[in-house]
């Protein structure tokens, strides 16, 4: 049963318990569960309950300590998520969210002997890929952090237009960037579930060719889809992504 006041899933609305399948969505760096609110009704129309994860320290969870390690996030989320996994489910995440979805899948396997019906990762390099040692957004102070945000094209324009808001969100951004930039991959067996990797054709953060390297983390089937757009291509392709969710959960409903 999905409890509407669970802090991890603040936007679980009426009808979620009646859905045929669950889609657990993880936020990108600096984002929150609210990003996925416009997706909830569209998902419900396809028989899916969308549960958007709210990390500590943002949204309705402001005041809670920020997390700086993906593994710690997966462990903290585990009990709340496990109680809801009574039907087919997939994990979806974009950018930092892709890493969080991946680590959550591995935690569910280790702790509960559970695997998602599919893992869909978007806009992030494979978790075992060595990154440029110059990646240091987590250590940037204002105004350099603001310049980075403007370049990523993912921050709401009203935030960038009001510099007084940046000190409020800077700690959250630094923690999120630390989670992805300082991640230390631990080798485990590939996940025995279908894995779909989504790429943006013009993503300056990760090229489509890099996305392909997620393949080695899939013991099951692997597929890659490249969509037009920059790092935040998912904003322009919601319907296509929902179709991919349906195809992953129940292939014969992909065109529903």
Contact 145, 166 (CB under 8 A): yes
Options 95, 122, 135, 221, the catalytic residue: 95
CA distances from 256 to 40, 45, 252 (A): 16, 9, 8
**135 labelled catalytic:** no
Q: What are 78's two structure tokens? A: 């585990």
The per-residue DSSP string of 81-108 comes to HHTT-SS-EEEEEETHHHHHHHHHHHHH
Q: What are 88's two structure tokens? A: 């087919």
Listed in order, strand segments (DSSP E) in 99-251 are 118-122, 195-200, 222-227
Q: List active site positions.
A: 95
């Amino acid at each position: 049963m999905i409890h509407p006041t669970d802090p991890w899933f603040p936007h679980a609305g009426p009808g979620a318990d009646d859905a045929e399948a669950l889609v657990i969505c993880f936020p990108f760096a600096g984002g929150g569960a609210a990003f996925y609110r416009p997706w909830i009704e569209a998902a419900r129309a396809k028989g899916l309950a969308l549960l958007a994860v709210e990390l500590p320290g943002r949204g309705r969870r402001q005041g809670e300590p920020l997390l700086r390690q993906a593994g710690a996030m997966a462990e903290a989320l585990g009990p709340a998520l496990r109680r809801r996994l009574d039907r087919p489910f997939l994990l979806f995440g974009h950018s930092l969210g892709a890493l969080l979805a991946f680590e959550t899948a591995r935690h569910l396997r280790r702790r509960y002997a559970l695997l998602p019906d599919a893992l869909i990762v978007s806009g992030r390099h494979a978790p075992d890929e060595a990154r440029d040692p110059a990646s240091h957004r987590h250590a940037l102070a204002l105004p350099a952090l603001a310049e980075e945000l403007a370049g990523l094209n993912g921050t709401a324009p009203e935030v960038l237009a009001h510099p007084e808001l940046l000190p409020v969100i800077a700690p959250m951004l630094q923690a999120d960037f630390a989670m992805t930039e300082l991640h230390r991959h631990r080798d485990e067996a590939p996940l025995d579930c279908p894995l779909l990797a989504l790429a943006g054709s013009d993503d300056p953060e990760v090229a489509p060719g890099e996305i392909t390297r997620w393949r080695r983390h899939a013991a099951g089937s692997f597929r890659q889809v490249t969509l037009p757009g920059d790092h935040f291509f998912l904003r322009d392709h919601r319907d296509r992504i929902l179709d991919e969710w349906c195809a992953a959960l129940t292939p014969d409903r992909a065109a529903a």
